[in-house]
């Protein structure tokens, strides 16, 4: 990308399954009370940051989050299937604690290497990065300068990896809470990353991974 642009990678509010440590993947659960409060606060922050365009995953938990953004950020989102969360395959809807017991070997291999190992019938991070690259190939053509992408914890890591040219280890080190916004700014061949958390910030780098720029 050669033009000056700011990308905001936004996660949906906490869901009932997030709170229950249950794997969602492409399945959905409703936002929790905490998640609804997080979404409203994130919408307020995005308005203050001057977001002028929104891309979004079409999954239900993102749509519920967007509805809570609307009073603060009245921008119609552009939904894109490539922004959906990873496919958890046969593990979707299962509790992490149960999978550690019932599929111990397969789950241990997946926990050790999300980048190349797939859940049965699911995706890995290499698959997510392929989707992310295809998305940016199209999204980079829009004329807007401050673009929010409202998606999911795993998918946002893949999007950040593409923007920051991260290695697999750096990608997997990133963590994003439900009320954290990643901001990645590109200008004159330089890319700089920081983040906002719980309505405060900016703070240096990305949470977990600590990447600040390339």
Catalytic residue ranges: 12, 85
Q: Spell out the alpha helix ranges (H) of 70-191.
A: 96-102, 104-112, 125-139, 153-164, 168-173
For the CA atoms of 129, 109, 85, 28, the dihedral, rounded to the nearest 10 degrees, stands at 180
Residue for token pair 């914890």: 153
Task: Identify whether the C-beta of residue 54 lies closer than 8 Å to the C-beta of residue 75.
Answer: yes
- Binning the chain into helix, strand and coil, the percentages to the nearest 5 are 40, 20, 40
Task: Identify whether the C-beta of residue 151 lies closer than 8 Å to the C-beta of residue 9.
Answer: yes
Collapse the DSSP code of 204 into the 3-class scheme (helix H, G, I; strand E, B; otherwise coil) and give the result: strand
Residues, the chain: 214
Task: Identify whether the C-beta of residue 22 lies closer than 8 Å to the C-beta of residue 96.
Answer: yes
């Amino acid at each position: 990308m050669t033009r000056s642009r700011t990308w905001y990678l936004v996660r949906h509010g906490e869901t009932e399954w997030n709170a229950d440590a249950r794997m969602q993947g492409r399945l959905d659960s409703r936002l929790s009370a905490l998640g609804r409060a997080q979404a409203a606060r994130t919408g307020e922050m995005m308005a203050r940051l001057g977001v002028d365009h929104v891309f979004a995953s079409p999954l239900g938990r993102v749509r519920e989050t967007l509805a809570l953004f609307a009073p603060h950020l009245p921008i119609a989102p552009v939904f894109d299937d490539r922004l959906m969360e990873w496919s958890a395959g046969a593990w979707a809807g299962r509790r992490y604690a149960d999978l550690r017991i019932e599929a111990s070997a397969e789950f241990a291999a997946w926990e050790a290497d999300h980048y190349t190992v797939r859940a049965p019938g699911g995706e890995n991070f290499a698959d997510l990065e392929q989707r992310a690259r295809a998305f940016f190939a199209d999204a980079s053509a829009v004329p807007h300068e401050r673009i929010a992408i409202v998606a999911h914890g795993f998918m946002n890591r893949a999007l950040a990896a593409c923007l920051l040219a991260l290695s697999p280890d750096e990608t997997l080190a990133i963590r994003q809470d439900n009320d954290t916004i990643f901001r990645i700014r590109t200008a004159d061949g330089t890319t700089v990353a920081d983040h906002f958390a719980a309505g405060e910030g900016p703070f240096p780098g990305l949470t977990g991974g600590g990447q600040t720029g390339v």
